[in-house]
Amino acid sequence: MSINLLSKMLKENDWILADGGTGTELFKMGLTSGDAPELWNIEYPDKVRQLYESFLDAGSDLILTNSFGSNSARLKLHRQEKNSYMVSKKSAEIGKEIIYNYNRSIVLAGSIGPTGELIEPLGSMTYSEAIDIFKEQSKGLKDGGVDVLWIETMSHIDEFKAAVAAAKSLNMQWCGTMSFDTSGRTMMGITPLEFKNLIFNLDYKPLAFGANCGVGSSDLLRTIKSFINEEIKIIAKGNAGIPKFKGGKIVYDGTPEIMAKYACFARDLGASIIGGCCGTTPLHIRAMKKSLSKKLTSREVSLDLIEDCFGKFSSKSDSSEVKSTSKNKRRRRIH
């Protein structure tokens, strides 16, 4: 396997900046509830180009393809299940075309989200069927030109492992995240510690792993703190605050200033790939880039400090065995 662009960038940089929220940005462009964002790759490619460009212009070093739900199980809801490969491939081709216009190294990561189905014995989908579904989507992303597969927002171990198996079958390097938003666990009850143990027991390991989405900066940073290790790079991709319903719309209360501070906390905790998820706009990304690019020093980040800066945790514990008095200190070179 040749040296991956992401691997090279991670070796050369203390951190790289990912993008923000795909879905929430597309809603601003006219996507309506119930629509499949992924079909815009075919119907409105210019808007998808605009999405990619907005984050690249703001300073992102890594962008995700508009393919989160381009697997056949999700597309079946729109009678487009036979087009998983085509829709996935198109999402990558648009990104590859845009990146060509920028005179810097940029990683194109193929977004792979959950199928929306439960695997046996919890549901009717078999593990083998899940692998096949992810393999078709991954093949489209690979043929479209992605540098790495990006398995994200997962909540169940078996589904996560099925996506990894698909990546392995195609000899594709990958990154992976789960979303911890229910008492410090995923929707299916997986703890950060269980996820970390899964990663280190896999025979086909990722370039990086971590957490995305969730219920705010405090919880995501606590999760990241429990992940830190010296063997595999860490991803932090949290929402721009907490969603609230105002004026008939869902809005996120995280300002660019708050997200800039979150980005530096994630960096100081040891995260190497830092970005935003739902509600994170190019304005947030620009502020994060500016803050991260300042001279770096080392500092200690305790759970108490995280709470003081970003608010209380949504639960007393995330079962990661991180004590509230523990500290995390990481020395980084000054640029």
The pLDDT value recorded for residue 242 is 83
Q: Which residues pair with 109 in a beta bridge?
A: 64, 148
Residue type, position 114, single letter? P
The pLDDT value recorded for residue 148 is 98
Q: Is the pLDDT of residue 330 over 50?
A: no
Within a 13 Å sphere around the CA of 19, how many CA atoms are in the beta-carbon half?
A: 25
CA-nearest of 103, 126, 112, 149 to 38 is: 112
The pLDDT value recorded for residue 322 is 44
Sign, CA torsion 25/27/33/39: negative
Q: Is the pLDDT of residue 180 over 80?
A: yes
Mean pLDDT of the chain: 92
pLDDT digits (tens, 9 = 90+) for 194-240: 999 999 999 999 999 999 998 889 999 999 999 987 799 999 999 99
- Residue 22: strand, helix, or coil: helix
Reported as a pLDDT band with limits 50, 70 and 90, residue 334 is: very low
- Residue 237: strand, helix, or coil: strand
Q: Does residue 206 have a cis bond before it (omega within 30 degrees)? A: no
Q: Is the pLDDT of residue 323 over 60?
A: no
For the chain, helix, strand, coil in percent to 5 are: 45, 15, 40
Through-space distance between the first and last CA atoms of the chain, rounded to whole angstroms? 32
Instruction: Tell me the mean pLDDT in the region 169-179.
Output: 98
Q: Answer for the pair 242, 279: CB distance below 8 angstroms, yes or no.
A: no
How far is Cα 316 from Cα 262, in angstroms, rounded to an integer?
20
pLDDT digits (tens, 9 = 90+) for 246-282: 777 778 889 999 999 999 999 999 999 999 999 999 9
pLDDT digits (tens, 9 = 90+) for 29-44: 999 989 999 999 999 9
- Residue 155: strand, helix, or coil: coil
Q: Which residues pair with 174 in a beta bridge?
A: 149
DSSP structure class, residue 169:
H
Residue type, position 48, single letter? V
